[in-house]
Amino acid sequence: MKDELQEFERYLEHLGGGLGHADRQAGLRGYCIGLMAPLARKSVEPMAAHLAPQATRSRHQSLHHFVAQSSWSDEEMLRRVAQWVVPAMDFGDGGWWIVDDTGFPKQGEHSVGVARQYCGMLGKQDNCQVAVSVSLACLAGSLPTAWQLYLPQQWADDMARREKAGVPENVSFATKWQIAQAQIEHLVEQGAPKHTVLADAGYGVVTAFREGLTAMGLTYVVGVTGQVTVWPPGHAPLAPRPRSGRGVVATRQRLGDARHERPLSVKEVALGLEPTQWQSIEWREGTNFTLRSRFARVRVHAAHREHLRTEQRAQEWLLIEWPEGHEEPMKYWLSTLAENITLERMVFEAKMRWRIERDYQDLKQDLGLGHYEGRNWRGFHHHASLAIAAYGFLMAQQLRQPEGGGKKNSARSEEPALPTHYKPRGSPAHAAPRPIVDHNFAAAYRRSLAQDAAALPMLPARKRENSFVTQ
């Protein structure tokens, strides 16, 4: 435990280097310990009461000022967390950028970004805040590296509410996929590795999102709905209309009247496949059984506004899941993974999106991600970045000291635990507990500070690059 406490102090010193003022180090330390403590509610007041029972009021004021008013950068905080955690991640068996959004039920209308919208936590439309994130994942773990509140149109256009909530002037309305694309672009500009991007159908159905990833040199495996249209083998648009002798030369493709001259929905493609094209694939060991389903794939060209294009888009994979006993296919993905990739590996990569659910579960259930009770933009993002900072330390410890004596992870990893209230877009997964928070650590750290400050010497921070760690 002593080594872990010393490592945590080094970690805090590393993070504190981005706070701007040395006097903010106490707020960082107290907030992270409060988030890791065994509290039912991890908002400022109960954390202050836990940290300083005899001086709760003054501690509450200092923590509130640190999270809601201090002008340190939450983006810099996330960058430093990544610098610490990424070196512990093993990308030998693959790496992924996982895009998703998560909701926080909220009452009233004054908290920044709150509106009636889809909330994944509730599985329905309701009053909530929604944040978009990008996580970096390897087989053994994952880490959120970008985080931004989605600002609905009615908020973006309401100058009075924006000013009261402290929304930065440079933040304008952007859809969730536009936020995610901007986050990935920024990470790539910082030198982040170009791993495959995973996302659900909320992002995958957007042609511009997929094309933006390709323009950045990133491959993807993204979910789509059954209504998305493609050009399967044997189907293609007509060539531009031949010149009649008048006017400009036509350069755009045309849709014909025949079936093979029009695109098909991916559901139609799936229903038309031969029985021999379907294979039973295992991709991960569950709690009590191996996860297995039936899959097929076919090379297609995505179809979208063909009448405005001069040529077809590049060919990519359409992956389909149709479990035995189901009346129709259950899931669809479009992917730009290599043409020679095996079906088993493609399925494995498509299913790696569960890692983002792991992030959200630990962050919400154990680290109080959704417990911030303030209303302003800065506090919302500061609280989230601090929850991710606490998660980052625990994840790095877990990655460096894996169960089983450091045995290398196999291609199949254990099915994640999902919170009982979480309803992801798609079929549910089976539960398998895997807690990341050790509350004894937080308690031991508090005791060590109270008993003997010298027990945790301030050691020199490790030398780290200023840019995003690229491993």
Is residue 136's pLDDT more than 70? Answer: yes
Q: Are residues 400 and 364 in the same domain?
A: yes
The predicted structure's pLDDT at residue 247: 61
The predicted structure's pLDDT at residue 122: 84
The predicted structure's pLDDT at residue 355: 87
Residue 464 placed within a domain: no
Q: Are residues 236 and 177 in the same domain?
A: no
Please state the rounded mean pLDDT for residues 131-138.
97
Residue 451: Cβ within 10 Å count: 9
Q: What is the extent of the structural domain holding 395? A: 2-200+356-455
The predicted structure's pLDDT at residue 405: 43
Segment 281-295, tens digit of pLDDT? 998 876 667 889 999
Please state the rounded mean pLDDT for residues 387-408.
79
Count H helices, E strands: the chain?
15, 12
For residues 50-66, b (16+ Cβ closer than 10 Å) or e, as one string? bbbeeebeebbebbbeb
How far, rounded to the nearest angstrom, does the alpha carbon of residue 33 sit from its chain's CA centroid? Answer: 24
The predicted structure's pLDDT at residue 239: 74
Residue 299 φ/ψ, nearest 5 degrees: -80, 130
The predicted structure's pLDDT at residue 396: 95
**Residues near 114 by beta carbon (within 8 Å), at least 6 away in sequence:** 106, 108, 127, 128, 129
Is residue 217's pLDDT more than 70? Answer: yes
Q: How many domains does the chain have?
A: 2
Please state the rounded mean pLDDT for residues 107-130.
91
The predicted structure's pLDDT at residue 24: 94
pTM of the predicted protein model: 0.86
If one compares 89 and 446, the residue with the highest pLDDT of the two is 89
**Tokens 């009461």 -> residue:** 49
User: How many angstroms separate the Cα of 121 from the Cα of each of 105, 379, 422, 424?
Assistant: 8, 21, 5, 8
Residue 277 placed within a domain: yes
Please state the rounded mean pLDDT for residues 126-144.
95
Residue 98 placed within a domain: yes
The predicted structure's pLDDT at residue 243: 62
The predicted structure's pLDDT at residue 410: 37
The predicted structure's pLDDT at residue 287: 64
Q: Are residues 335 and 221 in the same domain?
A: yes
Q: Are residues 311 and 394 in the same domain?
A: no
- Smallest CA-to-CA distance from 290 within 221, 360, 347 is with 347
Is residue 431's pLDDT more than 60? Answer: no
* Beta strands in 184-249, from DSSP E residues, in sequence order: 196-199, 220-224, 229-231
Please state the rounded mean pLDDT for residues 351-363.
90
The predicted structure's pLDDT at residue 425: 40
Is residue 296's pLDDT more than 70? Answer: yes
For residues 158-179, b (16+ Cβ closer than 10 Å) or e, as one string? eeebbeebebeeeeeebebbbb
The predicted structure's pLDDT at residue 457: 44
Last residue of a domain, one of 320, 352, 384: 352
Is residue 407's pLDDT more than 50? Answer: no
Residue 167 placed within a domain: yes
101 forms beta bridges with 132
Cα of first residue to Cα of last residue in the chain, in angstroms, is 29
Q: In whole angstroms, give the CA distance from residue 234 to residue 215.
A: 27
The predicted structure's pLDDT at residue 289: 74
**Residues near 156 by beta carbon (within 8 Å), at least 6 away in sequence:** 162, 171, 172, 173
Among 12-21, 119-128, 356-365, 430-439, the range scoring the smallest mean pLDDT is 430-439
Q: Are residues 144 and 274 in the same domain?
A: no
Residue 17 φ/ψ, nearest 5 degrees: -65, -15
Please state the rounded mean pLDDT for residues 239-256.
67
State whether the Cα torsion 67-72-75-80 is positive or negative.
negative
Q: Are residues 215 and 187 in the same domain?
A: no
Q: Are residues 191 and 225 in the same domain?
A: no
Quick one: pLDDT band at residue 429, thresholds 50, 70, 90?
Answer: very low
What does DSSP assign to residue 80? Answer: H
Pick from 53-62, 245-254, 425-434 the range whose average pLDDT is largest: 53-62
Tokens representing residue 24 in the block: 């903010």
Quick one: pLDDT band at residue 279, thresholds 50, 70, 90?
Answer: very high
Last residue of a domain, one of 326, 352, 378: 352
Segment 333-346, tens digit of pLDDT? 999 999 999 999 99
Is residue 200's pLDDT more than 80? Answer: yes
- Smallest CA-to-CA distance from 198 within 349, 339, 93 is with 349
Q: Are residues 310 and 368 in the same domain?
A: no
